Structure 1
Amino acid sequence: MNRGNFSPFEIKMRAAGVMEAAIGAFRHNYEALCREETGLIPEEAIRPAEGLAVFEPGEGGFDPALLAQTVVIKLNGGLGTSMGLQKVKSVLEVRPGVAFLDLIVRQVKSLREASGAPVRLLLMNSFSTSEDTLGYLSKYSADGFATASEVELMQNQVPKIDEASLAPAECPANPSLEWCPPGHGDLYPALVGSGWLDRLLADGVKYAFVSNSDNLGAVLEPGLLKHFADSGAPFLMEVTRRTPADRKGGHLAVRRDNQRLLLREVAQCPDSDLDAFQDIDKHQYFNTNSIWLRLDLLKARLEEGGGVLPLPMIRNRKTVDPRDKNSTPVIQLEVAMGAAIECFEGAQAIEVPRSRFAPVKSTADLFALRSSAYEVGGDGRVELAGTRQGVPPVVKLDDSYKLVDAIEGLGTPCLVGCEEVAVTGPLVFADGVVLKGKVSFKSPEGSPRTVPAGTYQDGEF
């Protein structure tokens, strides 16, 4: 094959039933790869984003007519493999018998009851998460949340690229390894290719709120919806202030040549600019991966681009078998959903409270979430306890607690007054343990140590 020939990819993707919109999007990125575009955004090409509008809870008001025109879309394509799960992360329990998915359904049902409007829910599943998700939701069949035709937006898959030849990667021993997810920027071709975009517009749905299913702070906020609708903007990104913990995460900026907002990920930053990238005083805002879309304007923009949003390509170098570093080197092309902010004239960003960004990426996050530091409402909202004043406890668990199974027997101490807790070694917190201030617990290797009921404050125990 000629290096850079797209035909083999097109044939392979069509044979696998990949949507035409996704083939077009992949072609756009593949051609950029062949032109040896790096996708890098140097510091000299941008300036910091400044002076953004700030949203405070309670602003904007509650408008049932707007809610009737809105769909909630949750990105639900990830497995919890980093925490030892072999199933979709959103079936993890926050409270006994209450998983992420239960809270998402509660949130939408609550909005329906409060507004009398048929607020829609879509879950963007992957081939890895579809069966688990729909199986779990079967208990909500009476509410219209249980079948693919009601709630599922299927994520595409794209071929891995042989790094040496730029041909489709091959793995005859396990052909499934020849494919990879295209990143959450696949939202746009998936909406078009599945028919959901036209279906929603035909039903009078004009606005979409999109967020990660593992970000339990990301709830459709009627006041934010009102702000977005009043702005007339085609696209709104929720951002919040970067902290030292966010130095490696993508940040918002403004491109100097056209003054459009853009999102720069660390993979798009030249090595020489990493210090500026990580300067949280200069680049103050990071993307929470919660966005608002005007679906009619999205359709118009897609038509303008021949069915493709020209999202910046992110190039990832891997091996075809990620467990075998000696297998064929490949390139995986991904796109980020938030990067679409640069594709729309008049796109905006808004600073939101940090409480709207509460992702569960580790067992430490889950341990904190399961504690009394967080309150779970009947409406599905997860919020920090009132006395915490918006500051979550910092949880540090050693590597022996990396997997979910390892924290199941750890216990759930009260963390309402806890600033930081560190746990090293096998430990069990008995019922009635209250932690305050900054505390740490160490246990020698061997049998677990039990921490008896009582209050532990500021110190090592």
Structure 2
Amino acid sequence: MAVATDKLTPLKSAVAGLNQISGEAQQVEWSKIQTPTDEVVVPYDSLAPIPEDPAETKKLLDKLVVLKLNGGLGTTMGCTGPKSVIENLNSKYGCNVPLLLMNSFNTHDDTQKIIEKYSKSNVEIHTFNQSQYPRLVLEDFTPLPSKGQTGKDGCAAEILSHLIKNKNEYCMEVTPKTLADVKGGTLISYEGKVQLLEIAQVPDKHVNEFKSIEKFKIFNTNNLWVSLSAIKRLVEADALKMEIFLTQRYCFQEVDGVKVLQLETAAGAAIRFFDHAIGINVPRSRFLPVKATSDLLLVQSDLYTLVDGYVIQNKARKNPANPSIELGCQLLSRFKSIPSIVELDSLKVTGDVWFGTGVTLKGKVSIAAKPGVKLEIPDGAVMENKDVNGPEDL
């Protein structure tokens, strides 16, 4: 579905009006965009190692609070991952790193029930609700009724040490962009300041250039480090003015059969308000998003193991990059067990496909069931560089 530009004109005017209240929406002049230097986006490998003295490391960690976005997927998966990491740090260094969970109004009650069982752990867990904008009915831009509803991995001490030493009030972790990340926001130098550039801000004629991995080589991982005292200063001065974005992808969203749009603010866009703000170009190993079943298959497979809350890639994998996986509408319930994918380069699955136990996938594998045909991959099957269109190909 595509939405005509003139259809969105009234909404864009409304968003512009909201931005006059909440924050000035910047009209980016493409010619002024500059590639950030290594002083603005610091290479991860250049960071000084953490102090060898555990007491010095404890001093660093005592300044740290970890905040995790805890939306619907976060609640489904529980909060044991970040809690395990922090628990290990607190035990190892005798520090006190609290965990804050930023809930949506839909996940708050469920989260409160989940964290009750962690009340006796050595991690303080606090929760609060994120801000929210109403969904808008696409047909007439009226607010969608809420129907009565109201209201290494994680802690890298090297980054923390660098930020404290250099008095950086804000840091965004970025990572090298691949063709799978072309829509992610990127950092730019603009009129002497570091700034986040989102695809929603890009003029139509420059969208393909924005998606290019030649010009924009990094993208935002949404791992953000922010000085709490700096936030306090900006909030008290009413200086943290955030733009409101109209994100086109919500043109495809439906709620109870009603086509809706949703407005957003990007936390990363706050970078331009802070003093000595920087990015740090981290390796892909610090960025492992789970937004789809294909992402979940990756982290549940033998490609990764969980050690003290850290997700570690299997050393047996020779290629440092993750395999490309496209499951279409496949659900993980179609897998009796997660296949071995240590030697997999790419997997594409379409149609009614079911996996047995102990399946091994290597190289490039494509499985496409014909319409109306249920295709079952037998237990123990080993598939390497194979195209499968029916039982005869197995």
Q: State the TM-score bracket (shorter-chain normalisation).
A: 0.7 to 0.9
Measured at CA, do residues 50 and 278 of structure 1 come closer, stay the same or move farther in structure 2, by a change above 3 Å?
farther
Name the aligned partner's letter for residue 61 of structure 1: I
Is the 1:235–1:348 contact (alpha carbons within 8 Å) kept by the matching residues of 2?
Answer: yes
Match of 2:303 among 363, 366, 373: 373
Further displaced range: 339-348 or 137-146: 137-146
TM-score by length of 2: 0.81
Distance 1:294 1:244, change over 3 A: same
Residue 351 (structure 2) aligned to one of 408, 425, 449: 425
Contact 2:355 2:378 in 1 (8 A): yes
* Alpha-carbon contact 1:427-1:451 (below 8 Å) kept: no
Q: Could you tell me which residue of structure 2 aligns to residue 437 of structure 1?
A: 363
Which of 115, 118, 143 matches 2:96?
118
Letter in structure 1 aligned against 2:37? E
Aligned residue for 2:82, secondary structure, equals: helix
Give the deviation of 1:129 after TM superposition: 0.8
Amino acid of the residue matched to residue 332 of structure 2? I
Shift of 1:325: 7.7
Partner of 1:203: none
In structure 1, the residue corresponding to 2:113 is in which secondary structure?
helix
> Which position in structure 1 is the counterpart of 2:187?
252
Alignment partner of 1:142: what SS? coil
Matched, 1:230 2:165: yes
The corresponding residue for 1:44 is 31
1:276 corresponds to: 209
RMSD: 3.3
Deviations 1:299-339 (A, max 9, x none): 123223x2x402233135779x9437877x87x54211111
**How many Å separate the matches in 1 of 2:174 and 2:282?**
6
1:309 to 236, 240, 244: 240
Runs of 4+ in 1 over 6 A off after TM superposition: 34-37, 161-166, 324-327
Residue 151 of structure 1: aligned partner: 126
CA distance in 1, matches of 2:115, 2:21: 43
Which of 102-111 and 32-41 deviates more? 32-41
1:66 is aligned to 60
Residue in 2 that maps onto 1:8: none
Cα 1:376–1:351, aligned 2, differ >3 Å: closer, same or farther?
same
Q: Structure 2: any 5+ residue segments left out of the alignment?
A: 1-14, 52-56, 389-394
Cα distance in 2, alignment partners of residues 163 and 426 from structure 1: 33
Gaps of 5+ in 1: 1-27, 79-87, 93-98, 182-216
Q: Deviations 1:25-66 (Å, cap 9, x if unpaired)?
A: xxx985535899764423123212233321139952151111
Measure the CA separation in 2 of the matches of 1:334 and 1:276: 24
1:395-454 residue CA offsets vs partner (Å, 9 max, x unmatched): 12133x1xxxx2123131111111112223333333332221112234443444132314
Q: Per the alignment, do residues 145 and 120 of structure 1 end up closer, same or farther by CA in structure 2, a change over 3 Å counting?
A: closer
- 2:380 is the alignment partner of 1:453: yes
Q: CA contact under 8 A between 1:137 and 1:145: conserved in structure 2?
A: no
Partner residue, 2:147:
174
Which one has more relative contact order, counting CA pairs under 8 Å at least 6 apart? Answer: 1
Tell me if the contact between 2:84 and 2:309 (Cα under 8 Å) persists in the aligned partners: yes
8 A Cα contact 2:16 2:25, kept in partner: no
Structure 2 SS opposite 1:297: helix
Q: Once structures 1 and 2 are overlaid, which stretch shifts more, 31-40 or 57-66?
A: 31-40
Per-residue displacement from partner, 1:372-402 (whole Å, max 9, x unpaired)? 011111x111122113353112112133x1x
Please tell me whether the aligned partners of residues 42 and 278 of structure 2 are also in contact (alpha carbons under 8 angstroms): no
Is residue 358 from structure 1 mapped to residue 288 from structure 2 by the alignment?
A: yes
- Identity level (%): 30
1: CA distance, partners of 2:100 / 2:114? 15
d(CA) in 1 for partners of 2:20, 2:177? 31
Amino acid at match of 2:73: K
Q: TM-score, normalised by structure 1?
A: 0.70
Indicate the SS of the match to 1:112. Answer: helix
2:114 to 129, 132, 136: 136
In the alignment, does 2:74 pair up with 1:90? yes
Is the 2:169–2:227 contact (alpha carbons within 8 Å) kept by the matching residues of 1?
yes
